[in-house]
Structure 1
């Protein structure tokens, strides 16, 4: 009798929990089946196209080839907030975000951290030995003629790999 009472309690709890789980499972299964049925109807009505030209991929491949060409130059046109052309630079590369790094900006810390346990992602130091922070709203490049470092912030700009027919003067770097 002593063993029978705990066994009955365990059996009753198991059946009760199994019943709840089955109810939840059947509702989830029903929802998943409804989603599948709707998706099958959607695909029948509008089948997924099977591309043959892959133009987006072709454009990305061409972009990568141009970015990988060390002899390329880029025309960086600067505009004021009113849309007026301020001028342009001829750059060795396209403008690069100042938040582009050679190493990961974060690192994973294992174990106890503060009052909790587990793994945490924390900011990693940059290669210059300091922690970078702040906004990533600046871009840099090097002037094609003088190799001068140029950083632009807060300006609207666009880039072309050929000069455009717009009224803008080149911005010259002083060679003093």
Structure 2
């Protein structure tokens, strides 16, 4: 038994050594030198600029501030393919139907699926959820439907979709 264990350990050490840098070539050979020269030439020709405006960060900051208003009026236009089928005037920003209040998985000793807040498991359909000004909850989901939302009306063709009063 000791001989088998010793043999396995020796084999593992040999394989580890063989399949390291030496077997397939190291990072100090002629190919690595050429790659380093190309990289140096690229950085010399086009150095990475130090940014000062952070425009993408500013857009995300402004976007977050804009939509962080609970009573914001939103125009949500729905499309099937390239055809605008209509729009809703919503109360607040639409939320992705695939957003959750809890993490989808958690781990103590292994990954485990978390139940949603309603106690069920699984994934939600792609789409959007929102509320109309009168409190009506709407979810539009499906692979064929897409939406555009804005905090001002857009010049898209389509009729306002309204709730039918009973």
Q: Under a length normalisation based on structure 1, what TM-score does the superposition of the two structures give?
A: 0.71
Name segments (4+ residues, structure 1) moved above 6 Å. none
The answer (yes or no) to whether the contact 2:106–2:112 under 8 Å persists in 1 is yes
The answer (yes or no) to whether the contact 1:139–1:152 under 8 Å persists in 2 is yes
**Are 1:137 and 2:130 counterparts?**
no
> Secondary structure of the residue that 1:78 maps to in structure 2?
strand
> Secondary structure of the residue that 1:39 maps to in structure 2?
helix
CA positional deviation for 1:55:
1.7
**Are 1:79 and 2:67 counterparts?**
no
Counterpart in 1 of 2:138?
150
Match of 2:156 among 145, 166, 175: 166
The answer (yes or no) to whether the contact 1:97–1:136 under 8 Å persists in 2 is no
Aligned residues between the structures? 150
CA positional deviation for 1:19:
8.0
> Secondary structure of the residue that 1:28 maps to in structure 2?
coil
Single out whichever of 21-30 and 46-55 deviates more from structure 2. 21-30
The answer (yes or no) to whether the contact 1:146–1:175 under 8 Å persists in 2 is no
CA positional deviation for 1:105:
0.5
What are the ranges of 5 or more consecutive residues in structure 1 without an aligned counterpart? Answer: 1-12, 111-119
Counterpart in 2 of 1:99?
98
Structure number with bigger Rg: 1
CA positional deviation for 1:160:
1.2
What are the ranges of 5 or more consecutive residues in structure 2 without an aligned counterpart? Answer: 1-9
Counterpart in 2 of 1:58?
58
